[in-house]
Amino acid sequence: MRAARMYGYNEPLRIDEVPVPEIAPDEILLKVAATGMCRSDYQLLDGYFKGPFPVDFPYIPGHEVTGRVAALGSGVPKTAGYAEGDMVVVNPSWGDGTCRQCREGNEQLCSGNGRWVGFGPPGGFAEYMAVDHLHVIPVSEEAAQKPELLAPMTDAGMTPYRAMRKLRDAGKLGPDRTVAVTGIGGLGSYAIQYAKLLGGGSTVVALARTDSKLDVAKDNGAEYGINVRDKSTEAIQDELERLTGRRTINAILDCVGSEASISMGFDLLGAEGALAAVGLMSQRVEHNQFPFVGTELTYFGSFWGNHMDLVEALSLAEAGLIKHNVSTVRLDDINENLQALGRGDIVGRQVIVFD
């Protein structure tokens, strides 16, 4: 099979011919149909994750994966209901099943021997991959006709869904409130839609650094968009007040994760406001202690999502409630597209298709 493999950090991927993986008794062999390209794939290549997720070279990345069942291991129970030819999506977080987080259903936070596809187990930048049968989710044959729309749901679609639910469950969304999404890329284009679906009547505002990304946000349901490039907090607040009648924001979902975006978000929050962060551009963030304590702000970290988060996000998509901003690319063009991701040039999600 053909696969894009890492041979070191800060090196381009190489397209190699390698053996189709052999599967263990409890695994499924997946013929990959589509694999999304995420900024975190670029960050894996540039060494951002070499501490928490060291990999052995050569290594196949790719964590947003959907494909058809090509073979079933001898130990996959018939009650699992899978047959050759079924289209499935891969839940990328493989917990060990024994720690407290796994037993509570949060495999992505496994404190034992958890693994994450594309950051340890070989990923989907290849024509075939092996997957534990517990970590795939079947989809309808209708949805299977467009695998390029399924693959991004396993991260770009699922991650902001979990984060927006945290803001909703914390009581930060609702009528006469403003929720903002910072960064309208792969995750942010979905986050805007979840703000509308889960916001309970909140006013939805997009914050981005280019007008083209704000246009995507408005197409996806944002009432307003503010280009924050080179703007002071006061200038952004002036624009907020002009658009919404309020100078502050009640809830922010930050899909950037840079020191500047998090700091800006906290400056824009009103009393009892909350910020949920899913982006990972910086290694650290800072904020003044008194405004944080004195106005009772809340900071949520939100990492990926669990099995049911993915099931729910897929259900919204199958019900026609989710708009996708997807473009397809070839495996042969993977390096130039990853570089474009790293520069922030991509609007929406690029997905490698194999058929």
Domain identity same for 19 and 43: yes
Q: In three state form, how does the secondary structure of 120-164 look?
A: CCCCCCECEEEEEHHHEEECCHHHHCCHHHHHHHHCCCHHHHHHH
Shared domain for 55 and 21, answered yes or no, is yes
Same domain assignment for residues 241 and 269: yes
Residues of the chain with pLDDT under 50: none
Last residue of a domain, one of 259, 282, 301: 301
Residue 309 sits in a domain whose CATH number is 3.90.180.10
> For position 355, what pLDDT does the model report?
78
Task: Please indicate, yes or no, whether residues 11 and 103 belong to a single structural domain of this protein.
Answer: yes
Same domain, 273 and 285: yes
Which H/E stretch holds residue 250? strand 249-254
Same domain for 274 and 172: yes
> Would you state the pLDDT for residue 197?
97
Q: Which of 301, 324, 343 finishes a domain?
A: 301
Determine the structural domain holding residue 126 and report its residue range: 2-155+305-353
15 and 149 share one domain: yes
Structural domain count, the chain: 2
DSSP SS3 for 330: coil
DSSP state of 326: E
Task: Verify that 20 and 119 share a domain, yes or no.
Answer: yes
Considering 301, 318, 339, which residue would you say is the last residue of a domain? 301
Q: How would you classify residue 172: left for phi > 0, otherwise alpha for psi between -120 and 50, otherwise beta?
A: alpha
Same domain, 168 and 312: no
The DSSP string of 58-114 is: SB----EEEEEEEEE-TTS-GGG---TT-EEEE--EE--S-SHHHHTT-GGG-SSS-
Note whether 131 and 147 are same-domain residues: yes
Q: What is the CATH number of the domain that holds 235?
A: 3.40.50.720
Same-domain pairing of 216 and 325: no
| pLDDT at res. 75 | 96
Collapse the DSSP code of 264 into the 3-class scheme (helix H, G, I; strand E, B; otherwise coil) and give the result: helix
| The predicted structure's pLDDT at residue 285 | 84
Question: What is the torsion angle, in degrees rounded to the nearest 10, for the CA atoms of residue 93, residue 168, residue 185 and residue 321?
Answer: 90
pTM: 0.94
